[in-house]
A and B are shown apart, each in its own frame.
Chain A
Amino acid sequence: MSTTTKSSQIPTTPAGSRGSRRKDLAQQRSGKEKGAKGLAALFLAPTIIGIAIFTLIPIVASLTLAFFRWDIISAPEFVGVDNFVAIGADPTVRTAFLNTMGFVVVAVSLQLTVSIGLAVLIQSKMPNWLRTFFRSAFFFPLVLSASSVSIIMSYLFNQNFGLVNKVIGMIGIPAVPWLTSQVGAMIVIILVYVWQNFGFTFLLIIGGLSSIPTEMYEASSIDGATGWKQFKNITLPLLSPTLLVASVMAIISALQIFDQPYVITRGGPGDSTRTAVMVIYETAFKQLDFGRAFAIGIVLTLLIMLVTAIQFRLSRRFVHYN
């Protein structure tokens, strides 16, 4: 420590001969090195300690307590893999996971399709301000809170007075029981989720599209390729790395869906919109079965890691695209 102070004062004193100055600098540097180490520890402390307490310890706790029965009041009791067996046999948990996976497949496909379509359309010739306007509009729902959006949508999809039924009533379709029928409720959850989140996928795809050199299109149009052919032979393959990343990110976040079904349907009717995170929440805080909640959480994490692992595998194949 004392070296640091001494050496950092040196430059303020008049420099001596050339040789001694070089020596001073060397000394100063080693002092700086030590000072830098101290600084590193100090600067890292809040983040590292914070992550250790609020992420690493919880992970370890989850992994451990998943093998215990624990209601938070009495002492945890070791039960081996009972929790995992129990969730496998629990029809509610099974339904919730199936719902979640079905939701992910449909919602992510829809999200990708809508995003690709709109991203390609927005590349067409138009004034720049208009393009900025469209881009901002599609991005906008992303800044809203999922719970607010869910409140709004639960009014819009209300069977009796909702705007959606009013509009489709105008073209003669009888009122749809959106939120009180099993399929209807799931459709609403999917639409609400995609409505709010496609802007992110859209953003990623716009980025991917802009990195495709325009010469590619020029060259292919000289060869006579147009429209759909160009889309299929140039846009899609060159976009595939972006699409891969975008879909993985979309899948990971869709797997964690909670706010929309919680606010709009509370998981109903029946269990038809109950999701994986909802059963984690209910198992822990309604049934106070924490061990089982951890077990469900671990299964969900494994699913997410599986998706990530598949991405890594696939991305190796796409490596030649940059």
Chain B
Amino acid sequence: MTTISVKESSSAPGRTPAPRKKIHVSGRTAGRAAILIVATFLTLGPVVWTILTSMRSPTESLGAGGSIFSGGLDFSSYTDVFKQVNMWLLIWNSALVTGIIAVGQMFTAALAGYVFARIDFRGRGVLFSIVLATMMVPMQVTIVPVFMLIRGMGLSDTLLALILPAIPTAFGTFLMRQFFVGLPGELAEAAAIDGASPLRTFRSVYLPLAWPGLAIVGILAFNFHWNEFFRPLIMTISEENFTMPLGLVSLQGNMGTGSVSTVLAGVVLSMIPALVVFLFGQRYLREGLTAGVNK
């Protein structure tokens, strides 16, 4: 029933006059539905498993990794994870680093994006091309010299080592430029006739209109840096400067397979902001991620 009928599928809803054909179509529909359901199950399954397993007692979770709802809910893993690692500190570090980076990116990208969109000066095109070109260089290549720079500044193994290099954003600047280009230029002319200074024009006319763009930059930055593992791994050494992803991986390393639910409780806690972003900011996230493509 499945493979062949699915291959025949297309987005065009075929008109189906004859009853014989109708049976054929419903088989096809069932096949499509089955695939989509299985795909959804495979996609969400691991997340559901994680949440369920985190709600088992730490001792029980090892052997019973798979069977669901044998023991009823137990939240001792959540208290346990706070005993095993300094969870509050991890949460605080992650929130601080991510928050400052997100706000910093929104701020700097709005300023630079505005200039690239609205203020003409010699060399603007070249400068913007350079900014764009830096997006092509993988972070893994620049990270080692950045580490050395940070070390030279005396900032190694501090949260600033994570924050400072992440604030200037080529991608955010690009996004904000696109956004400001999309706003009508007549606004600036009208503001100028009213006697507004360039700064005032930006602050009172364009910036308030740029919130959707800023939201995209902020949400993308938040999501990316909240989840980030590679940079904290390199930039921080002592546990008091760990962010959540790093703390959880080291917790998993320390615990081995000893207490699966404790580690997963930490994982679930770390997922909460991502979940919030997903529920309330999904549209911005989608727009931001595809912004470079559909320009």
Contact = CB atoms under 8 A, between A and B. Distances in A.
Interface string A285-309: 1000010011001101100110010
Interface stretch (A81-89, A90-98, A102-110, A223-231): A223-231
A188 interface: no
- The A interface is mostly helix, strand or loop, or mixed, namely helix
Given A136-B282, A143-B223, A258-B230, A124 B267 contact: no
Nearest to A125: B13
B254 interface: no
A150 B246 CA distance: 12
Given A53-B149, A137-B43, A300 B115 contact: no
Nearest to B167: A50
A155 to B, nearest CB: 6
A144 B49 contact: no
B35 A54 contact: no
B168 interface: yes
Interface stretch (B72-80, B85-93, B138-146, B209-217): B138-146
B7 A256 contact: no
B81 interface: no
Contact of B134 (A51, A153, A245, A290): A51
A158 interface: yes
Given A51-B168, A152-B50, A280 B144 contact: yes
Contacts of A25: 193
Contacts of A281: 140, 230, 233-234
A301 B137 contact: yes
A5 to B, nearest CB: 9
A11 B196 CA distance: 9
Interface of A: 4, 8, 10-12, 25, 28-29, 32, 35-37, 39-40, 42-44, 46-51, 53-59, 61-62, 65, 72, 114, 117-118, 120-125, 133-134, 136-156, 158, 161-163, 166-167, 195, 200, 203-204, 207, 209, 214, 217-218, 220-221, 226-228, 230-231, 235, 245, 249, 252, 255-256, 258-259, 262-263, 277, 280-281, 284-285, 290, 293-294, 297-298, 300-301, 304-305, 308
Interface in B10-43: 10-14, 29, 32, 35-36, 39-40, 42-43
Given A39-B119, A43-B115, A163-B49, A118 B39 contact: yes
Given A47-B168, A140-B43, A221-B14, A124 B145 contact: no
Given A4-B197, A50-B167, A155-B257, A308 B136 contact: yes
A166 B65 contact: yes
Contacts of B50: 152
Contact of A117 (B35, B143, B234): B35
A301 B141 contact: yes
B173 interface: yes
B182 interface: no
A45 to B, nearest CB: 8
Contacts of A153: 46
B137 A259 contact: no
Contact of A46 (B35, B108, B147): B108
Which 10 pairs show the lowest CB-CB distances between chains A and B? A50-B168, A227-B8, A145-B227, A11-B195, A58-B145, A123-B11, A47-B112, A43-B111, A217-B12, A58-B142
B97 interface: no
Contact of B248 (A58, A120, A151): A151
B249 A151 contact: yes
A137 to B, nearest CB: 5
A63 to B, nearest CB: 10
Nearest to B294: A207
Nearest to B107: A46
Given A10-B195, A39-B115, A151-B249, A304 B134 contact: no
Interface in B217-234: 223, 226-230, 233-234
B25 to A, nearest CB: 10
13 contacts: A44-B112, A47-B112, A51-B131, A55-B170, A58-B145, A124-B11, A141-B43, A145-B228, A150-B249, A151-B263, A155-B53, A166-B65, A256-B138
A100 B72 CA distance: 43
B66 A47 contact: no
A134 B36 contact: yes
B274 to A, nearest CB: 4
B192 interface: yes
